[in-house]
Amino acid sequence: MPHARKSVTAAQVADEFSRTAKVLVRHFNERLGEHGVSTPRSRLVVEVARSQPIRLTELALAVGIAQGTASTLVDALVRDGLLERQTSADDRRSVLLRVTAQGAALAQDWTAGYERAAEELFRPLTPEQMSTLVDILRTLTADEASPAGG
């Protein structure tokens, strides 16, 4: 339980945060690389598998990237046979995304890999620290919008 200590400046917190974020990104890329996929690609496929059918913009929102970025990544995933695009009947501007059979299988593998990587990374924390961390993170992003681009 934290008690009074030398106070930290916001800039120090930002530095530390940015550093940690890079460590996290690197860790996930390494672990998922062992499964033959990058973190962003796996996140997209996993999210589609979980929420299909899902529109492109919803997907971008769900994983926290700009719509244009999602469009490009999805394009590659469709070319690779992991996702399917289908124009919505209700709104022909919309694209509904689904996983292919291959995509679904890989999504399972990658989800497991992602979870294992997360467990490795957060193993040093107690459950209470993890819970505290999530609280703090949610507080920080409480009133933030999503990336532009749509």
Partner DNA sequence: TATCAATGCATCGACGTCTATGTAACCTCC
Partner DNA sequence: GGAGGTTACATAGACGTCGATGCATTGATA
How many residues bind a copy of itself (CB under 8 A)? The answer is 55
Q: Is 65 in the site for DNA (CB under 7 A)?
A: yes
Task: Identify the residue among 88, 129, 149, 150 touching a copy of itself (CB under 8 A).
Answer: 129
* Stretch of residues binding DNA (CB under 7 A), selected from 8-16, 92-100, 114-122, 135-143: 92-100
Instruction: State how far the Cα of 103 lies from the Cα of 94, in Å rounded to an integer.
Output: 21
Long-range contacts of 131-138 (CB under 8 A, 24+ apart): none
Q: CB of residue 93 vs a copy of itself: minimum separation in angstroms? A: 26
Pairing type for strands 95-99 and 83-87 reads: antiparallel
Question: Please, are residues 67 and 150 in contact by the beta-carbon 8 Å criterion?
Answer: yes
DSSP class of 149: -
Residue 80: Cβ within 10 Å count: 15
Helix (H) or strand (E) holding 81: none
Instruction: State how far the Cα of 35 lies from the Cα of 67, in Å rounded to an integer.
Output: 26
Q: Is 92 in the site for DNA (CB under 7 A)?
A: yes
| Contact pattern from residue 64 through residue 83 relative to a copy of itself, giving x for each residue in contact according to CB under 8 A and a dash for the rest | xx------------------
Which stretches of the chain bind DNA, using CB under 7 A?
Answer: 22, 26, 38, 40-41, 55-58, 64-69, 71-76, 85, 91-95, 147-150
Which stretches of the chain bind a copy of itself, using CB under 8 A?
Answer: 1-2, 4-5, 7-14, 16-28, 64-65, 114-115, 117-119, 121-125, 127-142, 144, 147
